[in-house]
């Protein structure tokens, strides 16, 4: 998928982003570091700085419950929130976006006079393939 954006990625940001896109799976910062050793990336802070930038631009998501990162696999068309299905058996992680879910969350918090600063929805369970095996 190609994205048009109004910013340029640094060499390290591009390396991290390309790795996550090519691998197509969630990875910890240390897994990213191990895969990129030998490039210009040789220390955890460099990986974390790249990830922070990529997350801020919506190119990468953090899977909070697993402390892992995954390249965004679709355009959000204006919505800034996604949710994930994570298989606890095989680890497969799928990204979804649903405006209705986030609309309901925002309506709830408005009624409770609660200001959202961050929303992360992660659904853990077993995928269809693991249920069949």
Tell me the mean pLDDT in the region 48-56: 96
Could you tell me the residue ranges of all domains in the chain? 11-71, 83-132
Same fold, 11-71 and 83-132: no
End-to-end CA gap in the chain = 32
What architecture is the 11-71 domain classified under in CATH?
Answer: Orthogonal Bundle (1.10)
d(C-alpha 27, C-alpha 98), whole Å: 24
Contacts (Cβ under 8 Å, ≥6 apart) of 100: none
Tell me: the pLDDT tens digits for 55-103?
A: 999 899 999 999 999 999 776 655 557 899 999 999 999 998 888 888 8
Report the SS3 class of residue 49: helix
Give the domain 83-132 fold: Dna Ligase; domain 1 (3.30.1490)
Task: Decide if pLDDT at 132 tops 50.
Answer: yes
């Amino acid at each position: 998928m190609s994205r048009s954006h109004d910013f340029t990625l640094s060499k390290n940001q591009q390396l991290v982003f390309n790795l996550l896109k090519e691998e197509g799976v969630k990875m910890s910062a240390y897994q990213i570091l191990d895969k990129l050793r030998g490039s210009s990336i040789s220390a955890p802070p460099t990986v974390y700085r790249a990830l922070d930038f990529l997350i801020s631009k919506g190119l990468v998501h953090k899977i909070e419950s697993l402390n892992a990162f995954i390249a965004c696999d679709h355009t959000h068309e204006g919505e800034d929130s996604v949710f994930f299905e994570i298989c606890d058996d095989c680890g497969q992680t799928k990204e979804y976006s649903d405006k209705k879910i986030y609309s309901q969350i925002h309506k709830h918090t408005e009624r409770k006079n609660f200001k959202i600063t961050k929303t992360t929805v992660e659904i853990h369970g077993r995928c269809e393939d693991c249920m069949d095996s």
